A and B are shown apart, each in its own frame.
Chain A
């Protein structure tokens, strides 16, 4: 099918189950809330090497946060609940606890499964810590040099989905990058979804394993590398000389579908030859996002922001 003159290939993105948590980080002002969130989500692009995937979901106004300060919502994904718990303790402890004026709250209060990350972090208080129960939720007060760090005792863990994706095939780097940036900007308005790669865009799409190095779990997706067109079995059209990928993690299929819809729509710009998606023939995961279905389903586009 074509969408505004861009070929949408008849294929699907293949995604897999993950475990997810949502953190609400607040601070004295937007600068420090954003700083803590940026630090927490650093080096969290791919679960393969980073042990988790994380990114800012959106900024929050004071009216949306538990302490009426500026805040940032962050989604963090790991392969299982145990791993998610470890990453939460590490990253809240090293990136939020350390950041001036911040507090950290759970963003999934309805989740049945709870991770006691705040409880684990309380020992930093060396016996001087205390707790308060407000509205049925326990918060730990950890004394720090600028006052107190407040962290919620438990964080919700829910089933999530990792690895949603679409791939933009453009005639040159400038046009492809502009299309990818437009997609990222459009997806920023969809809640429940993050784009874990730098700025939301991955240039190093990968394939599973290696043709040469047995110990390497993922290597370059040579079929989409324009410089290798004559050297490998290329998947690129003749006039596509640049490729960028948008990878999405989400709290549910609907969120990813919605984000893919608005992202692909925004990416269909002049200079874009085709949009495709990455899959492993159905062997990687149970969540399949078919591009044609997503782009032709009007319900996907109409879904409101949560």
Chain B
């Protein structure tokens, strides 16, 4: 397999671009010219990818995108395998519905990163916008598998209606994180905004940096949850992150809820005591 196919932004973008055809598995079988002919959308106008990006390489399962592509949405949509590295910021809907492969963003990502994701790995070394790992508008389920790692902070509604998978947030999280989650694990090292895990059926919200527990959650005990330890060790080793040992091996206050549902969910709030 040759080196990565590189897409270098020709000039700064000022208008939103829809580029859901840029996936590693799709590009893998295409030559440099064929990659340059892939369609992207600027409003109602269809453009060849090569008009916006200088394409180098081809027939590779790796894509490297350089430049500030925060106006480009949908990169990695539905991807099943391969790797994408974005050397800068990226726009909305990154990796939406992806089922495999790996996307790494060295900058920050826009809204709805990992929307309805079902597998694979999505890593954002900066921050991300609203609805990370949540469902598509109107859908009943958010992410149903895979792993999302955001080293920075995220906006509101992260992990909403999540069904399965792991969502790790190294910074703060906005309002209504883990809203109505059905299962899966959300870990937040920073502060969590209002109304966390409301309406959750099952699933786990691990809150390290502070959280206001909703009244519909009931305190159970303070203990060392072994699965949190395994998850944090895994994330630290796999993604080369810094997580304090007192968090990995710490004690957590367990709250069961949401009492408005089947109530088999939990918020695990780290305590330094």
Contacts and interface: CB of A to CB of B under 8 A. Distances in A.
A141 B231 contact: no
Given A68-B249, A147-B225, A148-B225, A132 B204 contact: yes
A150 to B, nearest CB: 4
Contacts of B185: 132, 134
A135 interface: yes
Interface of B: 164-166, 185, 202, 204, 221, 223-227, 229-231, 233-234, 238, 248-249, 264
Which of A69, A135, A150 neighbours the largest number of chain B CB atoms within 10 Å of its CB? A135
A101 to B, nearest CB: 8
A163 to B, nearest CB: 36
B164 A133 contact: yes
Given A68-B248, A132-B204, A147 B233 contact: no
Given A69-B249, A133-B166, 17 more contacts: A66-B230, A66-B234, A68-B233, A68-B248, A69-B229, A130-B264, A132-B204, A132-B231, A133-B165, A134-B227, A134-B234, A135-B238, A139-B227, A139-B230, A148-B223, A150-B226, A150-B230
A130 B223 CA distance: 16
Contacts of B166: 133-134
B77 to A, nearest CB: 23
B202 A67 contact: no
A150 B228 CA distance: 10
Leading 3 A-B pairs by shortest Cβ distance: A150-B226, A147-B223, A67-B229
A103 interface: yes
Given A68-B233, A150-B226, A130 B202 contact: yes
B226 A141 contact: yes
Which of A130, A134, A141 neighbours the largest number of chain B CB atoms within 10 Å of its CB? A134
Given A132-B185, A141-B226, A147-B224, A66 B231 contact: no
A135 B226 contact: no
Contact of A134 (B223, B231, B264): B231
Interface in A124-148: 130, 132-135, 139, 141, 147-148
A141 B264 CA distance: 13
Given A130-B202, A141-B226, A66 B264 contact: no
21 contacts: A66-B233, A66-B234, A68-B233, A68-B248, A69-B249, A103-B226, A103-B230, A130-B202, A132-B204, A132-B227, A133-B166, A134-B166, A134-B185, A134-B234, A135-B234, A141-B226, A141-B227, A147-B223, A147-B224, A148-B223, A150-B230
Nearest to A149: B226
Contacts of B204: 132
A1 to B, nearest CB: 48
Given A68-B233, A135-B234, A150 B223 contact: no
Contacts of A133: 164-166
B230 A134 contact: yes
A148 B227 CA distance: 9
Interface in A65-94: 66-69
Nearest to A146: B223
Which of A68, A132, A139, A150 neighbours the largest number of chain B CB atoms within 10 Å of its CB? A132
Contacts of A149: 226
Nearest to B145: A133
Contacts of B226: 67, 103, 141, 147-150
Contacts of B234: 66, 134-135
A150 B233 CA distance: 15
A134 B233 CA distance: 10
A209 to B, nearest CB: 48
A68 B227 CA distance: 12
